[in-house]
Chains A and B, each alone.
Chain A
């Protein structure tokens, strides 16, 4: 498979950890940019593990974490202890040769290390720097910390979900992370384009809760336009019925997965043609219901009748049946089914890369493609410090004795160090 070189010639120093920042650089790595991921043995990417111990180190668990290995493919990895002068100096030398730096430390961390934008810009006047601490790098909350869950909470989005009797409902363990990550890639690409034309770098400040505002735009705008937030209707819709998630019979999942009892299908009807198709397929179960106004007025009875019908069907067969007649319907998949999904399999969405300490591992392709095949992936996530020698020798011109000295001093290394 040929290498993707759309962004060949772009070099990015990646100080980010966790999900959001590394996902941003994964997009660029997949398109051919060179990503130099900087960790340290003392402070490895926390997505390698957050409940660490010496046993965790000895068992090489830092190399086996699925989250880390999923978002860091196609990157090079160097360890530099940034609490030491030697580490800081080497980082500056890397930055001097880079187009951009990206980081998602909590506010205040980089200035403490002597590595804020002003310092790095002095090293490289054309530098782009993307800062994506949780709440952005300005404002009263700039030093506050957050996970993707905190970001979702602070965005107000949970007030748009669930039933009126529920507390505000979250959608995910870390909903904010992937959305911030894709936004980070977008911001970086815009700045790279400006740099290409003008030679001018700049500072970029990304706020992760603000990245979720466009996803909640319907609620935010309704509040502004009408003075009221949308009613919390659970799975129902204010203008359409049926609109919800309905039970299905216990049966085989997709791709030969074992049957489970938690079988559901989402069904929505947005127009009369879809309603008539559903009514015809379910006949006579839905014969008592009329136009949209009638269905909305009798939505309890409608959902009961529809649930009774769907409950006698296998979700896969029912999805196909409904979709063949033009009714929007989707089987509710579990995460464990996605790699086996026949559509994604057919589209070769999952690619396999062999990773040290792990073996063959499926990887999602990027969601955009040219032609029928996805962009080929090249390399699995790097092991800790895997490219120390390559980067320090080829890029910075260090000799063997200097590498030995850095290793002896603990500035570089290939194993996490548990600190007391």
Chain B
């Protein structure tokens, strides 16, 4: 049987920065058939420093996060302080469609490898995508970024957590993943535009991770920009205007509840036997229910405590109420829906045990992605990819 066609076959990408943002952007290309080369400094890309780590593996191959981000990619090591390494990189860039990096265009002027005029001479139709925290312009351009810094400034955390504060931070690398995903859309648009004949010449794009994460808050920002102050934070899992909304303990796990429309509220009350509440005219709207949320929360908690989350989920969905189980990390791998859809796949790192990680969230039926799989060790591809530059191979 012949292998399914790869939709991004023929696109060649070089990632010289190896941040979570550039790596996730490149991962989406790689999983769909593009050729991605991680050009790493001798110590490896920054993603190699990231937790979680693989048992019985040592740096630079110990980061499981790096491994997941690096499947379907090659790795070469180039010390760009060296002239020969710069020439080797230039050769790679000459045949690439996309160069991913953190630094923006202005800051690259005069750089021995990334000067815009030099890049234009090397590859006149190259697309460069810089992915960085705040962009190259504006008062925050030199700020030190982090996921939490961006999430704070994007208005994401103000409403999360207890009334008295402090607001709670998301964990992990979420802001950077969103930045990388957004940059993929920007870069892919450019690549497609060139192939459509709508664009030619070197294009230098920049994605701000802060602005990418405003996708979560832009609607609220527009809706409230004329207000002097916002209503106070309402507590854990309380986000106006939707109510009821929350996560409640059941005898076999956690049940996620959302009921927004009048019909959902009525069906939800029928499901739990909340006869008095469904008749209460004050509870006819989400805003009305929100005013009495503490009382309604207690009633819901009492009603579901001794029941099965799994059963309530299916019964609720049959009544068109958007309920959900809230699986733990351990349970997630065994949820039938995700198992059936192949939501997790095996990553095989150069050292240590293989592990499970998320696959591509969308499935193209004719040209499916090839997520996860083997990971190249640091510099493993020097010999094959830099054969014309033996002086830089280890």
In the complex formed, the residue of A with least CB distance to B187 is: A368
Fill in one digit per residue for A312-330: 1 if any B CB lies within 8 Å of its CB, else 0.
0000000000010011111
Contacts of B367 in A (CB 8 A): 190-191, 194, 202
Closest 7 CB pairs of A and B: A153-B256, A368-B186, A330-B152, A218-B172, A213-B358, A173-B239, A330-B149
Report chain A residues within 8 Å CB of B183.
368
Q: Which residues of B contact A385 (CB under 8 A)?
A: none
At the interface, is chain A mostly helix, strand, loop or mixed?
mixed
Please, could you name 12 A-B residue pairs with CB atoms under 8 Å apart, sorted by A?
A: A202-B367, A210-B358, A213-B361, A221-B357, A223-B330, A223-B332, A226-B52, A264-B165, A335-B221, A343-B139, A347-B138, A367-B186
Q: Is B291 an interface residue (CB 8 A)?
A: no
> Does B285 interact with chain A (Cβ within 8 Å)?
yes
| Chain A 49-74 near chain B by CB (<8 Å), digits 1 or 0 | 01100000000000000110111000
Contact count band on B: 35 or more
Q: Is B249's beta carbon under 8 Å from chain A?
A: yes
Other A-B contacts than A172-B160, A213-B361, A347-B211, 12 sampled, CB-CB below 8 A, are A66-B219, A145-B322, A150-B324, A187-B364, A190-B367, A198-B5, A207-B341, A215-B172, A224-B64, A225-B55, A229-B330, A243-B148
CB distance from B60 to the nearest CB of A (A): 17
Query: With contacts defined as CB atoms under 8 Å apart, how many contacts are there between chain A and chain B in the complex?
Result: 494
Q: Is A419 an interface residue when CB atoms closer than 8 A count as contact?
A: no
Q: B170 contacts which chain A residues (CB < 8 A)?
A: 161, 171, 215
Are A6 and B199 CB-contacts (below 8 A) given A183-B181, A266-B169, A343-B139? yes
Take A135-B337, A330-B153, A370-B203 as given contacts and tell me if A225 and B254 are in contact as well, using a CB distance cutoff of 8 Å: no
Q: Which residues of A contact B198 (CB under 8 A)?
A: 5-9, 32
Q: Assuming the A-B contacts A145-B322, A329-B149, A367-B211, are A220 and B161 also in contact, with contact meaning beta carbons closer than 8 angstroms in the complex?
A: no
Most chain B CB atoms below 10 A, which of A175, A247, A344: A344
- Whether the pair B366, A202 counts as a contact (CB closer than 8 A) is yes
Q: Report how far A372 CA is from B105 CA in the complex, Å.
A: 10
Whether B167 is near chain A, meaning CB under 8 Å from some CB there, is: yes
| A219: contacting residue among B32, B171, B191, B260, CB under 8 A | B171
Instruction: Kindly identify which residue among A6, A151, A235, A339 contacts B225, using a CB–CB cutoff of 8 Å.
Output: A339
Q: Are A153 and B51 within 8 A (Cβ)?
A: no
Report the nearest B residue to A229, measured CB to CB.
Answer: B329
Q: How distant is the Cα of A208 from the Cα of B337 in the complex, in angstroms? A: 12
Query: Is there an interface contact between B363 and A368, defined as CB atoms closer than 8 Å?
Result: no
The one of B5, B152, B207, B218 in contact with A368, judged by C-beta atoms closer than 8 angstroms, is B207
- Given A362-B225, A368-B207, A369-B205, do A245 and B344 touch, yes or no (CB 8 Å)? no
